[in-house]
């Protein structure tokens, strides 16, 4: 994967929130310039629709600084049945 981008996945019903569907790729500024929560806002995903954010397989907080090459997954809360 190109090193200057972030790969973004949105699971469940959140997938419909991503332009062009999930997964997608977005440009990433240099390290430390974009947090997980800022990426969410950029993508237009409402905060209350995200239960957790996972970066490179680990759960992170909203202020986690993203780096080029990261893989970010937005996970919604779900009931299921």
Partner 1 sequence: MPGFTGKILRVDLSRGEVSAERPPESFYRRYFGGRALAAYYLLREVGPETGPLDPGNLLILAPGVLAGARVAGGSRTGVACLSPLTGGFGSAEGGGFWGAELKRAGWDAVVVTGRADRPTWVHISDDRVELKDASGLRGRTTAEVEEAIKAELGDGRVRVAQCGPAAERGVLYANVVFDLIHFAGRCGCGLVMASKNLRAVAVRGTGAPEVADPGRLRELARWMATTGLEENRAFHENGTPGVVAPLDAQGGLPTRNFREGSFEGADRIGAEALNGTLLIGTDTCHACPIACKRVVEAGSPWPVDPTYGGPEYETIAALGSLCGVSDLHAICKGNELCAAHAMDTISTGVSVAFAMECFEEGLLTPEDTDGLELRFGSAEAMVAAIERIARREGRLGELLADGVARAAEELGGRARELAMHVKGQEVPMHEPRLKAGLGLGYEVSPTGADHCHNIHDTIYAKSVKSVMPLGILEPLPADDLGPAKVRLFHYKVSWQHFLDSAVMCYFTPWDILQVVDMVRAVTGWNAGLWELVKVGERAAVLARLFNLARGFDASQDRLPERFFQAFEGGPLEGVAVDRAALKEARRLYYAMAGWDEEGVPTPAKLHELDLGWAARD
3-state secondary structure 36-73: HHHHHHHHCCCHHHCCEEEECCEEECCCCECCCCCEEE
Shortest separation between residue 63's beta carbon and partner 1, angstroms:
16
State yes or no: residue 1 binds partner 1 (CB under 8 A): no
The answer to whether the Cα torsion of 46, 8, 28, 61 is positive or negative is positive
Query: Which residue, 29 or 77, is less far from partner 1 as judged by CB?
Result: 77
- Shortest spacing between CB 3 and partner 1, in angstroms: 25
Q: How many CB atoms lie within 10 A of CB 42?
A: 11
| Interacting residues with partner 1 between 12 and 71 (CB under 8 A) | 12-13, 15-16, 47-52, 54, 59
Please say which residue, 5 or 15, places its beta carbon nearer to partner 1: 15
Which residue lies nearer to partner 1 by CB, 2 or 62? 62
């Amino acid at each position: 994967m190109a090193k200057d981008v972030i790969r973004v996945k949105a699971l469940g019903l959140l997938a419909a929130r991503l332009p062009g569907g999930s997964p997608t790729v977005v440009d990433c500024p240099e390290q430390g310039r974009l947090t997980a929560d800022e990426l969410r806002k950029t993508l237009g995903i409402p905060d209350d629709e995200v239960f957790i954010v996972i970066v490179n397989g680990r759960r992170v907080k909203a202020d986690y600084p993203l780096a080029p090459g990261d893989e970010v997954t937005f996970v919604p809360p779900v009931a299921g049945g």
